[in-house]
A and B are shown apart, each in its own frame.
Chain A
Amino acid sequence: DTGVSQDPRHKITKRGQNVTFRCDPISEHNRLYWYRQTLGQGPEFLTYFQNEAQLEKSRLLSDRFSAERPKGSFSTLEIQRTEQGDSAMYLCASSFSSSSDSPLHFGNGTRLTVT
Chain B
Amino acid sequence: TQLLEQSPQFLSIQEGENLTVYCNSSSVFSSLQWYRQEPGEGPVLLVTVVTGGEVKKLKRLTFQFGDARKDSSLHITAAQPGDTGLYLCAQRWGGSYIPTFGRGTSLIVHP
**Footprint of B on A, CB under 8 Å?**
4, 31, 33, 35, 40-45, 48, 50, 55-56, 91, 93, 97, 100-101, 103-109
B101 CB to closest chain A CB (Å) equals 4
Q: How far is the CA of A20 from the CA of B98 in the complex (A)?
A: 23
Q: Among B12-20, B39-47, B56-64, which stretch is in contact with chain A?
A: B39-47
Q: Main SS of the interface on chain B?
A: loop
Contacts of B86 in A (CB 8 A): 42
Query: Which of A42, A48, A97 is the one whose CB lies under 8 Å from B102?
Result: A42
Whether A103 and B45, one on each chain, are in contact in the complex, defined by CB atoms closer than 8 angstroms, is yes
In the assembled complex, the Cα of A48 lies from the Cα of B44 at a distance in Å of 19
* A45-B100 contact given A101-B50, A101-B92, CB 8 Å threshold: yes
A43-B101, A106-B43, A108-B42 provided; 20 other pairs, C-beta below 8 A? Answer: A31-B97, A33-B98, A40-B106, A42-B88, A42-B101, A42-B103, A45-B99, A48-B98, A91-B42, A97-B97, A100-B92, A100-B95, A101-B31, A101-B33, A101-B92, A103-B33, A103-B48, A104-B45, A105-B45, A106-B42
